[in-house]
Amino acid sequence: EPEVTQTPSHQVTQMGQEVILRCVPISNHLYFYWYRQILGQKVEFLVSFYNNEISEKSEIFDDQFSVERPDGSNFTLKIRSTKLEDSAMYFCASLGLASFLYNEQFFGPGTRLTVL
């Protein structure tokens, strides 16, 4: 069964450093998303991406964040200068045409980001 994969599973970084979180969505999917979950809180939408551009972004997704689909298979989230409050679990999700009507997004296992 096709699945969304994410690397690394855990990333530890120093405050102020740049991090890149990587995702490989399901191959025939067209819509891509990043969400995050701070420990003990709900899963929050960050950004959606379609046709090589951002479709929508939340208030959380400020200038420190960027997304890219560099090669047609990977989908990356970059945080330019990490802050302590960026520590969270980051989930990538993708959506294909077949499940678009039901908005059945497929989630990856997540990357735990720890900012020290």
Partner 1 sequence: DQQVKQNSPSLSVQEGRISILNCDYTNSMFDYFLWYKKYPAEGPTFLISISSIKDKNEDGRFTVFLNKSAKHLSLHIVPSQPGDSAVYFCAASVRGSQGNLIFGKGTKLSVKP
Binding site for partner 1 (CB under 8 A): 4, 6, 31, 33, 35, 41-45, 48, 50, 55-56, 58, 91, 93, 95, 100, 102-110
Taking the complex as a whole, how short is the minimal distance between the CB of residue 93 and partner 1, in angstroms? 8
Give yes or no for a contact between 91 and 37, defined as CB atoms under 8 angstroms apart. yes
DSSP string, 4-35: -EEE-SEEEE-TT--EEEEEE--TT--EEEEE
Cβ partners under 8 Å of residue 1, min gap 6: none
User: CB-wise, 14 or 51, nearer to partner 1?
Assistant: 51
- In angstroms, the CA 83 to CA 87 distance is 8
- In angstroms, the CA 102 to CA 62 distance is 29
Taking the complex as a whole, how short is the minimal distance between the CB of residue 112 and partner 1, in angstroms? 9
Taking the complex as a whole, how short is the minimal distance between the CB of residue 103 and partner 1, in angstroms? 5
Taking the complex as a whole, how short is the minimal distance between the CB of residue 15 and partner 1, in angstroms? 25
User: CB-wise, 34 or 79, nearer to partner 1?
Assistant: 34
